Amino acid sequence: MLTTQQPVLRRFWYPVIPLDALINGPQSFTLMGQPLVLWLDGEGHPAALADRCCHRSAQLAKGMVQNGCIRCPYHGWEYDALGACTTVPQLDPGTAIPKTYRVPSYLCQERYGYVWVCLDDNPLQPIPEIPQFADPNFRFIHEFYEPWNVGGLRAIENSFDSAHGHFVHASSWGDMANPQPPPIDEVTETGFGFVMKHWLEVLNPDLQKKNLGIEGEKTIRTNTRTWYMPFARTLHIEYPNGLIHLIFTAYTPIDDQHSQVVQFCLRNDTEAEAKAADIIAFDRQVTSEDRVILEGTDYDAPLSLAEEQHMASDRPGILMRHRLAKLLKENGETEQRRLGRSSAMSPVLEQVAV
């Protein structure tokens, strides 16, 4: 599935950039192939427009914020958060600005310290609710914001794959001597995706002993994984001592081949009990192990089950593919594929019935 070729995927919210990145001026980001300019308006709210001036196509992100508007660096035209041109320095004073002087605007809001954007005026789902963010018993730890060379479906499917860990993460928590994961306890479909529950025995290396306050060489993770269509998840891990480590990860689609990884965690402990730097260091090792594998996969992951082989632990990924196929069908779309999948650079598209 080629993400940028499926219009319905524009109807979801995606985290695109940390809010703090806009404090010193406008920034650019490409979401699903659409170049954006993002900035803070006069009230400190984030705004998002197409990153092209309607006059001579200059990049607005190379301009500056003036009176809460974005000013084009080429001729000084200014645009408000709705994309309407508010200032044209070359016009005589009092001259009305034509209503056609505007650029596309996009839904934009802040949540969890990030700017979220939806490229359609009618989102299918709200931004995911993470109640622990407002719970004083939990602390927030920003972890990663970086682009990966991987398609969104490949990445999010991996987040629900309980079988890869003992091999991919053999240097962090995986146990290759015990490669068969326990059966998945429960998968409950929701309007926004599904919730999956299972447990997993993992190794407990020295750094994790400090982070978890657990001295054993192994420990049990009781996992609740929540999928938010199309490419976001939370992983709620509870350990035997009551510690909760909740990870939010989004694979925001830059284009078909690249995803912006947004990850933070919430924990019900304190800095005195476990240093944030140590927590980030361990999660960095784990995500780096995933990245090595995922960046070697074919970004054009098929929704059809016939193209790849499967096993019992692939159940969540299979459900994802079914749900996404259903989403396309309900919105009158066919799955867009790369023709000649052995050639990663082929620009030719193929329509596949779902």
CA dihedral 204, 205, 206, 208 (to 10 degrees): -60
Give the SS3 label for residue 39: strand
What's the pLDDT score for residue 205?
87
Q: Between 81 and 342, name the one with better pLDDT.
A: 81
pTM reported for the whole predicted model: 0.92
Query: Tens digit of pLDDT for each residue in 30-55?
Result: 999 999 999 999 999 999 999 999 99
Banded model confidence at residue 304, pLDDT cuts 50, 70, 90: very high
Short-list 124, 92, 127, CA closest to 15: 127
Considering just the CA atoms, what is the radius of gyration of the chain in Å? 22
% residues pLDDT > 70 (the chain): 96
Largest CA distance in the chain: 78
What's the pLDDT score for residue 22?
97
Sign of the Cα pseudo-torsion (271, 273, 277, 280, in order): negative
What's the pLDDT score for residue 340?
64
Strands (E), the chain: 14-18, 27-31, 34-40, 46-50, 64-66, 69-71, 78-79, 85-87, 105-111, 114-118, 139-148, 186-189, 193-203, 218-228, 232-238, 244-253, 259-267, 335-338, 349-352
Banded model confidence at residue 341, pLDDT cuts 50, 70, 90: low
Beta bridge partners of residue 264, listed in sequence order: 142, 248
Beta bridge partners of residue 148, listed in sequence order: 259
Short-list 78, 68, 89, 77, CA closest to 25: 68
Query: Tens digit of pLDDT for each residue in 261-287?
Result: 999 999 999 999 999 999 999 999 999
DSSP character at residue 191: S
Banded model confidence at residue 353, pLDDT cuts 50, 70, 90: very low
